[in-house]
Chains A and B, each alone.
Chain A
């Protein structure tokens, strides 16, 4: 009996394993091999640190991702906690507005930023009327930063709101019964309880920003991020081994970040953008 059940179960998981192996694991292995197939063999990985263009790009991308993560955590932390603990008219409307951009691909995010701070952007018009000069931020590092913020905030806010809702209200009530002010309650009860959620969503935010391609592609700035460089290497320069090596470096960094996220908290959301 049990052997037959085992067979059935194997039969049920086999197709998924086969597809996954053939179309993901195998290609990734081929990618790794391709990275070493160029003239430099495995030294190409060192190139990511020694080649100035690669290195600055890698650094740019990491710094940008870290900055976006911190900013997102702070902003989403405030707003997320605020929304969980307060009820007011129009709250569900605000929550839907905040989570609507969740489904936007990076391209659309880039377009949103162009509309906001591009050459014909709203902010530009506002500053034009105020100080006579059009502020065009979309095609600079600021624009990129804003774009990354745009797709990070909805994701992180949702995670934080979910985590904040799970906090036992009795904890806060106990603190208050012992005389803690609202500030202390936030500092000593709320934030420590949120830390796992903050770590996990922060790591996911970092991973997503590292791998984001569409946003940078649309904004077409002079500043290159690593995914753009990978793209250019492959499509414009036909540098397969270089592109492969950089992809693996990028994949490795995001994988570490996501592993961190999963050990800190149980749930996972995706990296996409």
Chain B
């Protein structure tokens, strides 16, 4: 009896390993910062699997964590491609951890939205504003401005991603700064704003919190329009996107090929795909502004807030935004935290 038990365990183990091995041995590539719930990366990853046969697991790191990890791993890279806010892409190039690669359709990207040497390129962009779950407000009015959020009625209801690590957090911060009259040289308005906001007990997650807005855990989140639209039209939540009265900014998101990555061929294929018709269509349908504006479909465009609202959203000098990022982080850590 004992011997047969032993034999059973001995033989079942390799069978199990074989089965798991089979399921795990498909072509893979590693993407840092491809969260399921953000910008509908879930659908994009599925499309990549279907069209390219490459298995890319989803990853919840935010832009800051992605950059730090790539830098930490630069001698032995683990990731093949990375996705982050534009300023992080610029910083990645400066840190020397990304490789130059100009995917197919490179020429269709407008000049301001790509690195001339091919170290990063925009795949889509969004406008930062307020992602509001109306049900979770508990009867309170939907806020219309950045200043509204300082009111005590919204105590404990406001959330924003950590501006020192998440691109959306940093973008929101710069957006607030510009809206409140500051410039990229003068960050005091936004620092003061955060200090005041602190008294309203804000929630400061580090990673994408789309689901938590939908469920009502975070009633008001500084987030992009595309996430809000998705919540409203795809997941049918009672949510609304608000472009604050004082104004805001638009931010592109970029992708890079990691230097000396383990699967560079797969990485390149993925980058190509993100600019292809199919790849861009995923984002168009997810309410992002695809960088190849031809991919935008009219019905998706109709779901956006009217252009008059978007007039308040401005572009900024992203290179400068990248340059002042460290200074902002230090000020935020010292004065607000």
Contact = CB atoms under 8 A, between A and B. Distances in A.
Interface string B49-77: 00000000000000011001101100000
Given A119-B217, A220-B205, A222-B337, A236 B68 contact: yes
Contact of A136 (B65, B156, B205): B156
Nearest to B337: A222
A155 interface: no
B180 interface: no
Given A236-B65, A236-B165, A119 B72 contact: no
A28 B95 CA distance: 29
B184 interface: no
Contact of A238 (B65, B71, B165, B205): B71
Q: Mostly helix, strand, loop or mixed at chain A's interface?
A: loop
Contact of B72 (A120, A134, A136, A235): A235
A134 B217 contact: no
A209 B71 CA distance: 31
Contacts of B165: 236
A120 B217 contact: yes
Nearest to B74: A238
B217 A237 contact: no
Contacts of A55: none
A119 B217 CA distance: 7
Interface string A231-268: 00011111010000000000000000000000000000
A234 B337 CA distance: 21
B156 A235 contact: no
Question: Which of under 10, 10 to 19, 20 to 34, or 35 or more describes the interface residues of A?
Answer: 10 to 19
A235 to B, nearest CB: 6
A235 B64 CA distance: 10
Contacts of B206: 220
Interface string B208-222: 000000000100000
Nearest to A234: B72
Nearest to A53: B333
Contacts of B201: 136
Given A119-B203, A119-B217, A237 B68 contact: yes
A119 B204 CA distance: 12
A220 B206 CA distance: 9
Nearest to A119: B217
B156 A134 contact: yes
Nearest to B201: A136
Contact of B64 (A119, A120, A236): A236
Interface centre among A120, A234, A236, A237 (most CB of B within 10 A): A236
Contacts of A240: 72
Interface in B122-148: none
Contacts of A120: 217
B203 A235 contact: no
Contacts of A235: 65, 68-69, 72
Interface string A81-98: 000000000000000000
Contacts of A119: 156, 203, 217
6 contacts: A119-B203, A136-B201, A222-B337, A234-B72, A235-B72, A240-B72
Given A236-B165, A240-B72, 11 more contacts: A119-B156, A119-B217, A120-B217, A134-B156, A220-B205, A222-B337, A235-B65, A235-B69, A236-B65, A237-B68, A238-B72
